[in-house]
Structure 1
Protein backbone atom coordinates (compact mmCIF):
# COMPACT_ATOMS: atom_id res chain seq x y z
CA UNK A 1 0.00 0.00 0.00
CA UNK A 2 1.32 3.44 -0.93
CA UNK A 3 1.85 5.94 1.92
CA UNK A 4 3.10 9.48 2.43
CA UNK A 5 6.56 10.04 4.04
CA UNK A 6 5.10 9.70 7.55
CA UNK A 7 3.13 6.52 6.87
CA UNK A 8 -0.37 7.82 6.21
CA UNK A 9 -1.97 5.44 3.70
CA UNK A 10 -3.00 6.79 0.31
CA UNK A 11 -6.40 5.78 -1.03
CA UNK A 12 -6.87 4.68 -4.59
CA UNK A 13 -9.34 6.40 -6.85
CA UNK A 14 -11.94 3.96 -8.13
CA UNK A 15 -11.55 4.52 -11.86
CA UNK A 16 -14.04 1.89 -13.04
CA UNK A 17 -16.78 1.07 -10.55
CA UNK A 18 -17.97 -1.99 -12.51
CA UNK A 19 -14.50 -3.57 -12.36
CA UNK A 20 -14.08 -2.58 -8.71
CA UNK A 21 -17.36 -4.24 -7.71
CA UNK A 22 -16.62 -7.31 -9.86
CA UNK A 23 -13.26 -7.82 -8.13
CA UNK A 24 -14.79 -7.41 -4.67
CA UNK A 25 -16.60 -10.33 -3.07
CA UNK A 26 -18.17 -7.99 -0.50
CA UNK A 27 -21.68 -6.53 -0.91
CA UNK A 28 -21.83 -2.89 -2.03
CA UNK A 29 -23.45 -1.78 1.24
CA UNK A 30 -20.51 -3.11 3.26
CA UNK A 31 -18.02 -1.47 0.89
CA UNK A 32 -19.87 1.85 1.26
CA UNK A 33 -19.68 1.43 5.04
CA UNK A 34 -15.93 0.81 4.83
CA UNK A 35 -15.54 3.91 2.66
CA UNK A 36 -17.43 5.99 5.25
CA UNK A 37 -15.29 4.51 8.03
CA UNK A 38 -12.11 5.42 6.14
CA UNK A 39 -13.36 8.99 5.65
CA UNK A 40 -14.08 9.23 9.39
CA UNK A 41 -10.57 7.99 10.23
CA UNK A 42 -8.96 10.54 7.92
CA UNK A 43 -11.09 13.36 9.34
CA UNK A 44 -10.18 12.30 12.89
CA UNK A 45 -6.48 12.40 11.97
CA UNK A 46 -6.98 15.80 10.35
CA UNK A 47 -8.57 17.19 13.52
CA UNK A 48 -5.67 15.86 15.61
CA UNK A 49 -3.18 17.45 13.19
CA UNK A 50 -4.98 20.80 13.40
CA UNK A 51 -4.82 20.67 17.21
CA UNK A 52 -1.10 19.88 17.10
CA UNK A 53 -0.62 22.69 14.58
CA UNK A 54 -2.26 25.18 16.97
CA UNK A 55 0.07 24.08 19.76
CA UNK A 56 3.14 24.46 17.55
CA UNK A 57 1.97 27.85 16.29
CA UNK A 58 1.84 29.01 19.93
CA UNK A 59 5.11 27.32 20.89
CA UNK A 60 7.32 28.64 18.04
CA UNK A 61 6.96 32.35 18.93
CA UNK A 62 7.74 31.54 22.57
CA UNK A 63 10.90 29.68 21.58
CA UNK A 64 11.92 32.56 19.29
CA UNK A 65 11.32 35.09 22.07
CA UNK A 66 13.36 33.04 24.55
CA UNK A 67 16.14 32.58 22.00
CA UNK A 68 16.24 36.34 21.40
CA UNK A 69 16.65 36.95 25.15
CA UNK A 70 19.43 34.36 25.43
CA UNK A 71 21.24 35.91 22.45
CA UNK A 72 20.89 39.33 24.07
CA UNK A 73 22.37 37.98 27.32
CA UNK A 74 25.26 36.44 25.37
CA UNK A 75 25.97 39.83 23.76
CA UNK A 76 25.88 41.58 27.17
CA UNK A 77 27.90 38.87 28.94
CA UNK A 78 31.19 40.81 28.95
CA UNK A 79 29.58 44.04 30.22
CA UNK A 80 29.64 44.89 33.94
CA UNK A 81 26.68 47.28 33.85
CA UNK A 82 23.26 45.88 34.81
CA UNK A 83 20.50 45.35 32.26
CA UNK A 84 17.31 47.38 32.65
CA UNK A 85 14.29 45.18 32.03
CA UNK A 86 10.61 44.74 32.74
CA UNK A 87 9.18 41.31 33.31
CA UNK A 88 5.72 39.89 33.63
CA UNK A 89 4.58 38.86 37.08
CA UNK A 90 1.02 38.14 36.02
CA UNK A 91 -1.17 38.68 32.96
CA UNK A 92 -1.62 42.39 33.74
CA UNK A 93 1.20 43.02 36.21
CA UNK A 94 4.73 43.98 35.14
CA UNK A 95 7.79 44.92 37.23
CA UNK A 96 10.91 46.92 36.37
CA UNK A 97 14.29 45.59 37.43
CA UNK A 98 18.03 45.97 36.98
CA UNK A 99 19.58 42.55 36.36
CA UNK A 100 23.28 41.72 36.58
CA UNK A 101 24.73 39.96 33.58
CA UNK A 102 24.88 36.24 34.04
CA UNK A 103 26.59 33.23 32.56
CA UNK A 104 23.61 30.91 32.98
CA UNK A 105 19.87 30.90 32.41
CA UNK A 106 17.05 28.73 33.64
CA UNK A 107 14.78 27.22 30.99
CA UNK A 108 11.40 25.58 31.45
CA UNK A 109 11.48 22.15 29.84
CA UNK A 110 7.84 21.34 30.53
CA UNK A 111 6.10 19.11 33.07
CA UNK A 112 7.09 21.62 35.80
CA UNK A 113 10.80 21.04 35.14
CA UNK A 114 13.28 23.89 34.97
CA UNK A 115 17.02 23.42 34.37
CA UNK A 116 19.99 25.75 34.52
CA UNK A 117 22.05 26.03 31.32
CA UNK A 118 25.17 27.97 30.38
CA UNK A 119 24.19 30.67 27.88
CA UNK A 120 25.80 29.07 24.84
CA UNK A 121 24.32 25.66 25.66
CA UNK A 122 20.89 27.26 26.17
CA UNK A 123 21.20 28.96 22.77
CA UNK A 124 22.07 25.66 21.07
CA UNK A 125 19.20 23.88 22.84
CA UNK A 126 16.70 26.57 21.83
CA UNK A 127 17.94 26.63 18.23
CA UNK A 128 17.49 22.85 18.09
CA UNK A 129 14.00 23.07 19.57
CA UNK A 130 13.06 25.85 17.16
CA UNK A 131 14.33 23.91 14.16
CA UNK A 132 12.48 20.77 15.32
CA UNK A 133 9.24 22.68 15.98
CA UNK A 134 9.35 24.35 12.56
CA UNK A 135 10.07 21.02 10.87
CA UNK A 136 7.14 19.43 12.75
CA UNK A 137 4.89 22.30 11.71
CA UNK A 138 5.93 21.91 8.06
CA UNK A 139 5.25 18.16 8.26
CA UNK A 140 1.85 18.76 9.85
CA UNK A 141 0.89 21.22 7.12
CA UNK A 142 2.01 18.75 4.45
CA UNK A 143 0.16 15.88 6.14
CA UNK A 144 -3.00 17.99 6.52
CA UNK A 145 -2.97 18.77 2.81
CA UNK A 146 -2.41 15.07 2.05
CA UNK A 147 -5.33 14.11 4.33
CA UNK A 148 -7.66 16.62 2.67
CA UNK A 149 -6.81 15.04 -0.69
CA UNK A 150 -7.50 11.56 0.68
CA UNK A 151 -10.84 12.62 2.17
CA UNK A 152 -11.85 14.19 -1.15
CA UNK A 153 -10.85 11.05 -3.05
CA UNK A 154 -12.81 8.83 -0.66
CA UNK A 155 -15.87 11.08 -0.83
CA UNK A 156 -15.77 10.91 -4.64
CA UNK A 157 -15.30 7.12 -4.49
CA UNK A 158 -18.25 6.84 -2.12
CA UNK A 159 -20.48 9.00 -4.31
CA UNK A 160 -19.53 7.08 -7.45
CA UNK A 161 -20.15 3.69 -5.80
CA UNK A 162 -23.45 4.88 -4.31
CA UNK A 163 -24.63 6.26 -7.66
CA UNK A 164 -23.56 3.03 -9.38
CA UNK A 165 -25.58 1.03 -6.83
CA UNK A 166 -28.67 3.25 -7.28
CA UNK A 167 -28.44 2.87 -11.06
CA UNK A 168 -28.02 -0.92 -10.72
CA UNK A 169 -31.07 -1.17 -8.45
CA UNK A 170 -33.22 0.92 -10.79
CA UNK A 171 -32.13 -1.20 -13.74
CA UNK A 172 -32.86 -4.46 -11.93
CA UNK A 173 -36.20 -3.14 -10.65
CA UNK A 174 -37.12 -2.02 -14.19
CA UNK A 175 -36.17 -5.45 -15.58
CA UNK A 176 -38.30 -7.13 -12.92
CA UNK A 177 -41.34 -4.97 -13.76
CA UNK A 178 -40.97 -5.66 -17.49
CA UNK A 179 -40.85 -9.45 -16.99
CA UNK A 180 -43.80 -9.43 -14.62
Structure 2
Protein backbone atom coordinates (compact mmCIF):
# COMPACT_ATOMS: atom_id res chain seq x y z
CA UNK A 1 0.00 0.00 0.00
CA UNK A 2 1.31 3.43 -0.93
CA UNK A 3 1.93 5.96 1.82
CA UNK A 4 3.15 9.53 2.08
CA UNK A 5 6.64 10.16 3.57
CA UNK A 6 5.24 10.09 7.13
CA UNK A 7 3.41 6.78 6.66
CA UNK A 8 -0.15 7.99 6.07
CA UNK A 9 -1.72 5.43 3.71
CA UNK A 10 -2.98 6.55 0.34
CA UNK A 11 -6.63 5.74 -0.32
CA UNK A 12 -7.46 3.69 -3.39
CA UNK A 13 -9.69 5.15 -6.08
CA UNK A 14 -12.59 2.86 -6.99
CA UNK A 15 -12.79 2.72 -10.76
CA UNK A 16 -14.78 -0.49 -10.95
CA UNK A 17 -17.11 -1.06 -8.01
CA UNK A 18 -17.40 -4.72 -9.02
CA UNK A 19 -13.77 -5.19 -7.96
CA UNK A 20 -14.70 -4.24 -4.38
CA UNK A 21 -18.18 -5.70 -3.99
CA UNK A 22 -18.66 -9.46 -4.01
CA UNK A 23 -20.60 -12.21 -2.26
CA UNK A 24 -17.88 -12.30 0.39
CA UNK A 25 -17.92 -8.53 0.84
CA UNK A 26 -21.38 -7.03 0.29
CA UNK A 27 -22.04 -3.34 -0.37
CA UNK A 28 -22.76 -2.59 3.29
CA UNK A 29 -19.39 -3.99 4.38
CA UNK A 30 -17.54 -2.02 1.68
CA UNK A 31 -19.36 1.18 2.66
CA UNK A 32 -18.60 0.57 6.34
CA UNK A 33 -14.91 -0.02 5.55
CA UNK A 34 -14.77 3.20 3.50
CA UNK A 35 -16.55 5.17 6.26
CA UNK A 36 -14.00 3.87 8.79
CA UNK A 37 -11.19 5.03 6.51
CA UNK A 38 -12.76 8.50 6.24
CA UNK A 39 -13.07 8.62 10.05
CA UNK A 40 -9.40 7.69 10.46
CA UNK A 41 -8.32 10.34 7.96
CA UNK A 42 -10.46 12.96 9.71
CA UNK A 43 -8.97 11.98 13.08
CA UNK A 44 -5.46 12.40 11.62
CA UNK A 45 -6.53 15.75 10.17
CA UNK A 46 -7.79 17.03 13.54
CA UNK A 47 -4.61 15.83 15.22
CA UNK A 48 -2.46 17.58 12.59
CA UNK A 49 -4.47 20.78 12.93
CA UNK A 50 -3.88 20.76 16.68
CA UNK A 51 -0.14 20.21 16.21
CA UNK A 52 -0.06 23.03 13.66
CA UNK A 53 -1.79 25.38 16.09
CA UNK A 54 0.72 24.57 18.85
CA UNK A 55 3.65 25.18 16.49
CA UNK A 56 2.15 28.44 15.22
CA UNK A 57 1.99 29.65 18.83
CA UNK A 58 5.45 28.31 19.74
CA UNK A 59 7.43 29.72 16.78
CA UNK A 60 6.92 33.42 17.66
CA UNK A 61 7.96 32.69 21.27
CA UNK A 62 11.15 30.96 20.12
CA UNK A 63 11.91 33.84 17.73
CA UNK A 64 11.35 36.41 20.49
CA UNK A 65 13.59 34.48 22.89
CA UNK A 66 16.29 34.13 20.22
CA UNK A 67 16.19 37.87 19.55
CA UNK A 68 16.57 38.57 23.26
CA UNK A 69 19.53 36.18 23.58
CA UNK A 70 21.18 37.85 20.57
CA UNK A 71 20.54 41.28 22.12
CA UNK A 72 22.05 40.17 25.44
CA UNK A 73 25.06 38.72 23.59
CA UNK A 74 25.60 42.05 21.84
CA UNK A 75 25.26 43.94 25.14
CA UNK A 76 27.65 41.55 26.90
CA UNK A 77 30.19 42.03 24.10
CA UNK A 78 29.90 45.82 24.37
CA UNK A 79 30.32 45.54 28.14
CA UNK A 80 33.41 43.34 27.70
CA UNK A 81 34.94 45.83 25.26
CA UNK A 82 34.37 48.65 27.75
CA UNK A 83 31.93 50.44 25.42
CA UNK A 84 28.96 50.23 27.79
CA UNK A 85 28.77 49.32 31.46
CA UNK A 86 25.17 50.35 32.13
CA UNK A 87 22.72 47.59 33.07
CA UNK A 88 19.76 47.02 30.76
CA UNK A 89 16.37 48.22 32.04
CA UNK A 90 13.42 46.23 30.69
CA UNK A 91 9.89 45.08 31.33
CA UNK A 92 9.94 41.35 32.03
CA UNK A 93 6.89 39.34 30.99
CA UNK A 94 5.56 37.25 33.87
CA UNK A 95 2.33 36.32 32.15
CA UNK A 96 0.48 37.37 28.99
CA UNK A 97 -0.77 40.58 30.59
CA UNK A 98 1.54 40.89 33.60
CA UNK A 99 4.98 42.55 33.43
CA UNK A 100 7.59 43.50 36.00
CA UNK A 101 10.47 45.98 35.77
CA UNK A 102 13.86 44.26 35.59
CA UNK A 103 17.47 45.36 35.59
CA UNK A 104 19.76 42.99 33.72
CA UNK A 105 23.52 42.99 33.77
CA UNK A 106 24.44 41.20 30.53
CA UNK A 107 27.01 38.47 31.00
CA UNK A 108 28.27 35.31 29.41
CA UNK A 109 25.32 33.14 30.54
CA UNK A 110 21.54 33.17 30.19
CA UNK A 111 18.78 31.09 31.70
CA UNK A 112 16.16 29.44 29.49
CA UNK A 113 12.84 27.93 30.47
CA UNK A 114 12.63 24.41 29.11
CA UNK A 115 9.07 23.79 30.28
CA UNK A 116 7.60 21.80 33.16
CA UNK A 117 8.99 24.43 35.58
CA UNK A 118 12.57 23.68 34.50
CA UNK A 119 15.11 26.41 33.83
CA UNK A 120 18.72 25.78 32.80
CA UNK A 121 21.77 28.00 32.57
CA UNK A 122 23.48 28.19 29.17
CA UNK A 123 26.32 30.19 27.76
CA UNK A 124 25.02 32.80 25.34
CA UNK A 125 26.49 30.84 22.41
CA UNK A 126 24.90 27.56 23.54
CA UNK A 127 21.54 29.25 24.09
CA UNK A 128 21.66 30.87 20.66
CA UNK A 129 22.57 27.55 18.98
CA UNK A 130 19.84 25.69 20.90
CA UNK A 131 17.19 28.27 20.03
CA UNK A 132 18.18 28.33 16.35
CA UNK A 133 17.95 24.53 16.24
CA UNK A 134 14.55 24.56 17.96
CA UNK A 135 13.33 27.25 15.55
CA UNK A 136 14.51 25.32 12.49
CA UNK A 137 12.91 22.11 13.79
CA UNK A 138 9.61 23.87 14.51
CA UNK A 139 9.51 25.49 11.06
CA UNK A 140 10.33 22.17 9.38
CA UNK A 141 7.59 20.45 11.39
CA UNK A 142 5.14 23.15 10.37
CA UNK A 143 5.99 22.56 6.71
CA UNK A 144 5.53 18.79 6.99
CA UNK A 145 2.23 19.23 8.82
CA UNK A 146 0.98 21.50 6.02
CA UNK A 147 1.95 18.81 3.48
CA UNK A 148 0.22 16.13 5.57
CA UNK A 149 -2.95 18.22 5.83
CA UNK A 150 -3.06 18.66 2.07
CA UNK A 151 -2.49 14.93 1.57
CA UNK A 152 -5.21 14.07 4.13
CA UNK A 153 -7.74 16.37 2.45
CA UNK A 154 -7.07 14.61 -0.86
CA UNK A 155 -7.53 11.20 0.76
CA UNK A 156 -10.77 12.24 2.47
CA UNK A 157 -12.13 13.56 -0.84
CA UNK A 158 -11.13 10.36 -2.65
CA UNK A 159 -12.81 8.16 -0.03
CA UNK A 160 -15.98 10.27 -0.08
CA UNK A 161 -16.10 9.91 -3.87
CA UNK A 162 -15.57 6.16 -3.46
CA UNK A 163 -18.47 5.98 -1.01
CA UNK A 164 -20.72 7.86 -3.43
CA UNK A 165 -19.68 5.60 -6.33
CA UNK A 166 -20.38 2.40 -4.36
CA UNK A 167 -23.69 3.74 -3.07
CA UNK A 168 -24.82 4.85 -6.55
CA UNK A 169 -23.74 1.50 -8.02
CA UNK A 170 -25.80 -0.30 -5.36
CA UNK A 171 -28.86 1.84 -6.13
CA UNK A 172 -28.46 1.08 -9.83
CA UNK A 173 -28.08 -2.66 -9.17
CA UNK A 174 -31.22 -2.73 -7.00
CA UNK A 175 -33.15 -0.87 -9.67
CA UNK A 176 -31.98 -3.36 -12.32
CA UNK A 177 -32.95 -6.29 -10.09
CA UNK A 178 -36.38 -4.76 -9.49
CA UNK A 179 -36.95 -4.23 -13.21
CA UNK A 180 -35.70 -7.73 -13.98
CA UNK A 181 -38.29 -9.38 -11.69
Matches within 5 A, 1:41-52: 41-52=40-51
Structure 1 unaligned spans of 5+: none
1:168 and 1:46 map into 2 onto residues whose CA distance is 34
Partner residue, 1:128: 133
Aligned twin of 1:102: 107
CA distance in 1, matches of 2:165, 2:136: 44
Distance 2:107 2:62 in 1: 20
* Pairwise CA distance, 1:32: 0.4
Q: CA deviation at 1:69?
A: 0.2
Question: Contact (CA 8 Å) 1:109, 1:115: kept in 2 or not?
Answer: yes
**How do residues 81-92 of structure 1 correspond to structure 2 at under 5 angstroms?**
81-92=86-97
- The alpha carbon displacement at 1:170 in A equals 1.0
Q: Which segment drifts farther, 1-10 or 83-92?
A: 83-92
What is the match of residue 148 of structure 1?
153
Instruction: Give the conservation status (yes or no) of the 8 Å contact 2:91–2:99.
Output: yes
Cα separation, 2, equivalents of 1:19 and 1:90: 60
Shift of 1:92: 3.4
How far does the alpha carbon of each residue in 1:29-55 deviate from its partner, in whole angstroms, 9 at most, with x for none?
101000000000000110010011100
TM-score under structure 2 length normalisation: 0.92
Verify the 8 A CA contact 2:17 2:166 in the aligned structure 1.
yes
Structure 2: distance between partners of 1:90 and 1:138: 29
Residue 99 of structure 1 and its aligned partner are, at CA, apart by: 1.5
User: Residue in 2 aligned with 1:172?
Assistant: 177
* Cα separation, 1, equivalents of 2:114 and 2:65: 12
Pair 1:5-2:5 in alignment: yes
TM-score (norm 1): 0.92
- Cα displacement string for residues 84-113 of structure 1 (whole angstroms, at most 9, x for unaligned residues): 211123443333333111211111112221
Q: Is the 8 A contact 1:63 1:129 kept in 2?
A: yes
Shift of the 164–137 alpha-carbon distance from structure 1 to 2, 3 Å rule, reads same
